Every structure is written in structure tokens, then in C-alpha cells.
């Protein structure tokens, strides 16, 4: 079952096309990483997913219901952590928790207490006195306490230190995936998301240039160093010593090239740079 269905979505701001004919689906219980450089269109798509924006063309469905037309009932099943962590600065974390608990029917106060303790955040602290990373953690805790079926994280590690980022990816997102909750995440922390994503979509200048299972993606990309010229089908060719280094996106056991000196696997970050590194988009 697909929890999220993005169908032929185009988003415009005046004459500027931020998202151009994008389609993808997120299966129930999976973690989908939507990647792209700044201005690639990630946040625009997230706004459509949560019913805050209507696409110029196409549609977004959550749980087989249109996200724009049925926003209120869908948000009862969906938690969102936006890129900019925002709440009244004079409210304490405990006051924010009490406010949220009155709104959401499936509120789990135990999650709040447990996660605040893990993050080292005092519930008596005023939201405005917290660091940027701590504010993001507080809103993530509130999102988890809703007991969501779908969690949308828009660049959740922005402002977090190394320890906090690792905690989020390993403890929070991993646990949600294990419990069958669906996760859509946009992030610049590719090393972190590589450990938990099932499928990856890459946006470049508003177009979805890649949508693939992560393991399949990593299995077909290789960095190949040769003492001679690169084969014609190779991409991102550059000089290497007296030979060439190339990115091969369709590598398999039958790959043949003259004078191969070294073949190495590529991380998700390296693949992302190879696919989207030349993007020069300007819209978010």
C-alpha cells in the first residue's frame, strides 16, 4: 500500500517553475529520503504533502485521500517537523506539551518524557532559551507523541550537533521504521540518512531525476580509475594521474573498460554529487 502518492505535480511561483512534473510513491512502513540541493523543490513538495499548498498541476494523496481537500483529517494521522522550528518563545516545553496533548487524540505522554530525557532537555525550559538544535528536538518529540502513521521530516538535523543527529537517525527514525510507521525525510545529512532509508528520490532543478531503492542504487554506481581513456558511456570523467577517473552509473559484473586500475563503491553522498552536483536551482 502506498501511503504517499505524488502524481505529476508541478508547482509554480509566478513564472518560476519550482517543481516540474514530479511523481513518486512512498510505501507503507518505509523510509523515503527526498534529496536535492537548496532550491531543488523539496520544501515546496512538503508543503503540498501536508495540504498547505495546492499544486498548479497534479495532486498529492495521503492514505488515498487528496492532501489539499482533506487536510484536517489527514493531519490527525500525520506528524510534521518543519525545517524552521517555531513555537511561542515564552512557553516552557511542558506548556507546549500540555497544549499539544489537548489537540491530538492519540497523545502519548510517555514518549515526551522519554525523548526529552534522552535529548537532555529540561521540560521547565522556555522554548526561546533553547538552542536551534534543541528547539528542533522539542518539536520532533511532540510529533512523535502524536502516535503518527506518517511522519514527515523537513531537514530534521539542521542545527543539530553530531551526537544529536546520530540519535535522531538511529533511535528515532529507525525505531519508527521498525514499528511500521512511514517516514518521508528531506535532509542534507546524507551519511545519516544512508543508514535508514529504503528508497531515495533526487530532485534537480525541480525534476525528479532519480527514484530508486537505495541498495539497488548503490549497487550500480561505481568510481572507476583507468590508466587509459574512459569508455564512452562513463560520466563525470576527469584526469587521474596519467589516466582517467569516471563515474559509472550502470556498473555490473560484465563491465568492461581498458586498463582498469581500481573500482570502488560509492556512498550515497558521492552518488548525490554525481547526479545533482551541477544543479543551479533557485526555488525552494
Whether residue 32 is found in the same domain as residue 114: no
271 found inside a domain: no
Helix 109-119 / helix 93-103 crossing angle, nearest 10 deg: 150
**DSSP character string of 57-79:** EEEEEETTEETTTTHHHHHTSEE
Whether residue 72 is found in the same domain as residue 153: yes
For the chain, what is the domain count?
3
Low-confidence residues in the chain, pLDDT < 70: 171, 177, 233, 253-254, 278-284
- Owning domain of residue 253: 222-265
Whether residue 1 is found in the same domain as residue 63: yes
Distance from the Cα of residue 119 to its chain's centroid = 21
Residue range 22-74, pLDDT digits in tens = 999 999 999 999 999 988 999 999 999 999 999 999 999 999 999 999 999 99
Whether residue 156 is found in the same domain as residue 60: yes
Whether residue 90 is found in the same domain as residue 180: no
32 - beta bridge partners? 184, 199
Give the per-residue pLDDT at 175: 72
Whether residue 46 is found in the same domain as residue 128: no
169 found inside a domain: no
Give the per-residue pLDDT at 77: 94
CATH number at residue 157: 3.40.50.300
Give the per-residue pLDDT at 278: 63
Amino acid at each position: 500500500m502506498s501511503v504517499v502518492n505524488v502524481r505529476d505535480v508541478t508547482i509554480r511561483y509566478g513564472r518560476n517553475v519550482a517543481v516540474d512534473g514530479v511523481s513518486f510513491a512512498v510505501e507503507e512502513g518505509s523510509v523515503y529520503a527526498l534529496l536535492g540541493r537548496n532550491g531543488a523543490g523539496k520544501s515546496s513538495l512538503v508543503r503540498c504533502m501536508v495540504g498547505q499548498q495546492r499544486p498548479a498541476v497534479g495532486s498529492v494523496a495521503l492514505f488515498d485521500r487528496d492532501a489539499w481537500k482533506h487536510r484536517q483529517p489527514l493531519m490527525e494521522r500525520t506528524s510534521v517537523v518543519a525545517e524552521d522550528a517555531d513555537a511561542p518563545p515564552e512557553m516552557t516545553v511542558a506548556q507546549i506539551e500540555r497544549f499539544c496533548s489537548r489537540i491530538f487524540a492519540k497523545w502519548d505522554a510517555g514518549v515526551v518524557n522519554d525523548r526529552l530525557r534522552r535529548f537532555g532537555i529540561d521540560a521547565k525550559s522556555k522554548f526561546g532559551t533553547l538552542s536551534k538544535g534543541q528547539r528542533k528536538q522539542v518539536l520532533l518529540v511532540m510529533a512523535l507523541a502524536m502516535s503518527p502513521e506518517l511522519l514527515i521530516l523537513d531537514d530534521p538535523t539542521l542545527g543539530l550537533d553530531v551526537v544529536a543527529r546520530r540519535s535522531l537517525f538511529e533511535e528515532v527514525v529507525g525505531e519508527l521504521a521498525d514499528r511500521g510507521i512511514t517516514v518521508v525525510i528531506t535532509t542534507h545529512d546524507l551519511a545519516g540518512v544512508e543508514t535508514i532509508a529504503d528508497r531515495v528520490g533526487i530532485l534537480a532543478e525541480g525534476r525528479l531525476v532519480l527514484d530508486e531503492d537505495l541498495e539497488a542504487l548503490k549497487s550500480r554506481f561505481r568510481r572507476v580509475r583507468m590508466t587509459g581513456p574512459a569508455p564512452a558511456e562513463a560520466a563525470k570523467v576527469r584526469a587521474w594521474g596519467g589516466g582517467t577517473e569516471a563515474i559509472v552509473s550502470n556498473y555490473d559484473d560484465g563491465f568492461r573498460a581498458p586498463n582498469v586500475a581500481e573500482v570502488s563503491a560509492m556512498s550515497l553522498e558521492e552518488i548525490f554529487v554525481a547526479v545533482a552536483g551541477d544543479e543551479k536551482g533557485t526555488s525552494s
